[in-house]
């Protein structure tokens, strides 16, 4: 753990971690916030899943565009415009009661979603030396996971104990606090995007990105189904309060998994670490298909989150290794456009599948999608070869001195 102590001694690390946390909690709340609000207003689980899907689709579909804009113009003004816009749409959606209006405002809310995570990731390369980057990604993954724990707990507790619509108001307030704080940090204000390389090609023609997009289609769809299958299962079994416990167990385990991944030696390449962990993730996902909303689902979700947290760290490293110069935010944005869009479709499908078939069947789809994702990356590993190298001690030393990435 000494490495984490050393990381937090680096200037601006604490500022970056704390500033974005409230906004990440808001994103952790929004899915369940919409679910409980819409389900209570309409009495329909499938329509609640549809509204979540529309909101997520609108946000993810424009993520690539917003990321490319940040690669070109920086972060200051995009955040200052989108943060208050998103909060306002959250308040407006909360006031709606008719189905058409809820769909409309959920869509506009998604369009205005500030790219908080896409903004933070490239800032780590500015704040920390190269040798601390895996540890920084682990911390960032842990913070996102912690927000994913706190958000659902807050949303579920408020919806069940006070009023189903209250979580969306809190979501808007937290976005104003966290998004505003991130935009005000010196490292975000002074962020200067990379210049593009002379032989730059459009991102959508980049073969490694195409591979990750194909893999992201299945992972996005699978997780979209899962995110609705869990609250649908607990609602059908009349134990909706267990929704928070299930997502909390998964989130806490996700934090632990990410932090453990941050301790993995850099003598293991990012690609090797990701592939080994990915295969384990698939096998770990199978038992959850046979669980019910009780301690079995809580335990199975925890193991799923543990391995998933580790994968996120290595996945970000792989992306960083294979991306073209000048695409720090744009590549992540376009990946999220694909993955998030399929996640929104999965959310809509998850509600229908859970209601017409069973939530267990929906969870089997999630496990299958993880397996397909692994197979895709296994067959396309040659395209990710840039992430399968280990920096030499000399490169590590040079990276520490000039805070620049190692080269192939």
Q: What CATH number corresponds to the domain at position 384? A: 1.20.1250.20
Q: What is the pLDDT of residue 302?
A: 94
CB-CB neighbours of 144 under 10 Å = 23
Q: What is the pLDDT of residue 391?
A: 56
For the chain (408 residues), the mean pLDDT of every run of 10, in chain order, is 86 91 93 88 84 84 82 82 92 90 92 87 86 86 84 83 82 94 89 73 81 93 91 87 85 89 77 92 94 92 93 86 78 84 84 88 95 94 82 46 36
Half-sphere exposure of 364 (CA within 13 A, CB side): 8
- How far apart are alpha carbons 234 and 363 in whole angstroms? 13
281 belongs to a structural domain? yes
Q: What is the pLDDT of residue 265?
A: 63
Q: What is the pLDDT of residue 340?
A: 81
Task: Determine the Cα angle at 125 with ends 119 and 129, to 5°.
Answer: 155
8 belongs to a structural domain? no
CB 347 within 8 A of CB 224: yes
405 belongs to a structural domain? no
Range of the domain at 235: 15-194+202-396
4 belongs to a structural domain? no
Q: What is the pLDDT of residue 401?
A: 41
284 belongs to a structural domain? yes
| 328-364 core/surface letters (b: 16 or more CB in 10 A; e: else) | bbbbbbbbbbbbbbbbbbbbbbbbbbbbeeebeebbb
406 belongs to a structural domain? no
Task: Determine the Cα angle at 136 with ends 135 and 138, to 5°.
Answer: 65
291 belongs to a structural domain? yes
Could you give the number of structural domains in the chain? 1
CB 45 within 8 A of CB 354: yes
408 belongs to a structural domain? no
Q: What is the pLDDT of residue 87?
A: 93
pTM: 0.76
């Amino acid at each position: 753990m000494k490495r984490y102590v050393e990381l937090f001694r680096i200037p601006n690390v604490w500022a970056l971690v704390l500033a974005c946390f409230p906004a990440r909690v808001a994103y952790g709340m929004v899915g369940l916030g919409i679910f409980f609000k819409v389900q209570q207003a309409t009495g329909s689980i499938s329509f609640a899943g549809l509204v979540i899907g529309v909101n997520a689709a609108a946000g993810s579909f424009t993520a690539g565009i917003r990321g490319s804009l940040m690669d070109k113009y920086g972060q200051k003004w995009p955040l200052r415009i989108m943060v208050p816009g998103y909060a306002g749409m959250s308040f407006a959606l909360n006031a709606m009661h008719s189905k058409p209006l809820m769909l409309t405002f959920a869509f506009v809310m998604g369009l205005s979603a500030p790219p908080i995570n896409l903004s933070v990731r490239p800032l780590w390369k500015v704040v920390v030396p190269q040798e601390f980057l895996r540890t920084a990604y682990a911390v960032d993954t842990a913070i996102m996971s912690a927000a994913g724990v706190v958000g659902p707990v807050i949303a579920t507790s408020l919806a069940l104990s006070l009023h189903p619509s209250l979580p969306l108001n809190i979501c808007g307030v937290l976005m104003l606090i966290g998004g505003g704080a991130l935009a005000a940090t010196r490292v975000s204000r002074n962020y200067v995007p990379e210049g593009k390389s002379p032989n730059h090609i459009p991102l959508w023609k980049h073969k490694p990105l195409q591979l990750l997009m194909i893999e992201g289609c299945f992972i996005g769809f699978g997780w979209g189904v899962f995110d609705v299958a869990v609250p649908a299962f607990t609602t059908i079994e009349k134990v909706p309060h267990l929704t928070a416990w299930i997502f909390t167990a998964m989130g806490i385990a996700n934090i632990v998994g990410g932090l453990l991944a941050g301790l993995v030696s850099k003598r293991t390449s990012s690609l090797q670490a990701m592939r080994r962990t990915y295969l384990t993730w698939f096998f770990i996902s199978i038992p959850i298909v046979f669980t019910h909303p009780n301690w079995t689902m809580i335990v199975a979700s925890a193991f799923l989150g543990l391995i998933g947290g580790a994968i996120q760290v290595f996945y970000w490293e792989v992306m960083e290794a294979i991306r073209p110069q000048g695409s720090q935010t744009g590549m992540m944005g376009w990946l999220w456009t694909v993955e998030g869009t399929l996640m929104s479709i999965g959310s809509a499908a998850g509600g229908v599948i859970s209601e017409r078939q069973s939530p267990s069947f929906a969870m089997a789809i999630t496990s299958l999608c993880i397996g397909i994702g692994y197979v895709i990356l296994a067959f396309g590993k040659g395209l990710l070869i840039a992430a399968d190298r280990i920096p030499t001690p000399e490169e590590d030393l040079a990276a520490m001195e000039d805070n620049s990435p190692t080269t192939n």
